[in-house]
Copies of this chain bind each other. A is one copy, B any other.
Amino acid sequence: MANIRDVAKKAGVSVATVSRVVNKNGYVKKSTLEKVNKAISELNYSPNAIAVSLNNKKTKTLGLILPDITNPFFPELAKAVEEVANQNGYTMILCNSNGLLEKEMEHIEMLERKYADGIILASDSYTEERLKGTDLPMVLLDRGVNPNHSSITANNFSGAVMATKHLLKQGCKKIAHIAGPKNVLTAVDRLKGYQSVVRDSNWYDGDLIIHANYNTKEAITATKKLLEMDSSIDGIFASNDLIAIGCLKAIRSIGWKVPDDIAVIGFDGISLTDLIIPQLSTIKQPVYEMGEAATKLLINEIEVGKKESLFKEFDVTLIHRESTDKRGEINE
């Protein structure tokens, strides 16, 4: 591949001049500009990004660290980040942490060594402590407010309130909650939302809450345990859609009917919820918008600089379908 000196030689000018026309800065006489442009196109020249980066310490690269790309919630987020990044001339490095703090730190260090310009961190295992060393611009997803980094979240608390109230409205008399992991912020907020609604009901009992990881398999076990313990439960608010799907499977396996015997609602709004039978009611997060906002925020921080940490919270919406409503919206 041709380099800047080849172009300079071909155009009969200095490399400095070529640099000026490539970057459209500094004074260049019209006629030389044309000569240079001609040489550039003839040699099919395009600047070596590595060399450019070595100078200005910018790589036009963003890192996206996720717990698990195979969790259906994240691909759409990744898509948003990638698209917005591309639109702004950035490229996205994808890192899977598998929820391991260890791996997460390795990824961050690697991104620093490669001089990524910034990081979007969507992590379960985040602890403020460990991020101290890093001075890379970083935007947090689904983490709480914190003085050092901007962050984007959905309104998990109010979503949980909406979900629980919806079950109540559908006539549920005893609502259980399958909560996510205790150390995951979103799970905690959703649990709090649930509790705020049902705490004062006469049927309420701490045993109605059971914890499970954000996946289908554990949710099946948890649901069975719950229903064996108390067969009068007639509504479940699951901390995310994958868990809710586990509920549905467990319920089906013991022969109960949804929503007649028991209603189920999830959280996230992954597209899966629309494909299963019965269609799953859920609280939808605006995933794409969140990814978009995070990326824009990060790029702004990189290019303009950061004055203060911003905290942006997105509203969620109730989507009621067959799993809670006898006459839900059925999108065939």
Contact = CB atoms under 8 A, between A and B. Distances in A.
Interface of A: 1, 46-51, 53-54, 59, 61, 68-70, 72, 74-76, 78-79, 82-83, 91-96, 109-110, 112-115, 216, 220, 245, 248-250, 252-253, 271-272, 275-278, 332
A278 B252 CA distance: 11
A212 to B, nearest CB: 16
Contacts of A278: 277
A48 B93 contact: no
B94 A48 contact: no
Interface-centre pick from A47, A69, A78 (highest chain B CB count, 10 A): A69
Contacts of A68: 79
B69 A75 contact: yes
Closest 10 CB pairs of A and B: A253-B332, A94-B94, A277-B277, A69-B75, A49-B114, A70-B75, A49-B113, A276-B276, A50-B53, A50-B54
B114 A91 contact: yes
Number of copies: 2
Contact of A72 (B72, B95, B216): B72
Nearest to A89: B110
A261 B275 CA distance: 20
A82 B1 CA distance: 28
Given A92-B94, A249-B332, A277-B276, A79 B69 contact: yes
Contacts of A275: 216, 245, 249, 272, 276
A18 B53 CA distance: 23
Contacts of A61: 93, 114
Contacts of A78: 69, 94
A51 B112 CA distance: 13
A216 B96 CA distance: 28
A216 B272 CA distance: 11
Contacts of A74: 75
B79 A70 contact: yes
Contacts of A48: 113, 115
Contacts of A332: 220, 249-250, 252-253
B49 A115 contact: yes
Contacts of A114: 49-50, 61, 91
A252 B277 contact: yes
A93 B332 CA distance: 36
B46 A113 contact: yes
Contacts of A250: 332
Contacts of A245: 275
A8 B332 CA distance: 68
Contacts of A277: 248, 252, 276-278
Contacts of A49: 113-115
A12 to B, nearest CB: 25
Contacts of A95: 82, 91
A82 B75 CA distance: 14
6 contacts: A50-B54, A54-B54, A70-B75, A70-B76, A72-B75, A83-B96
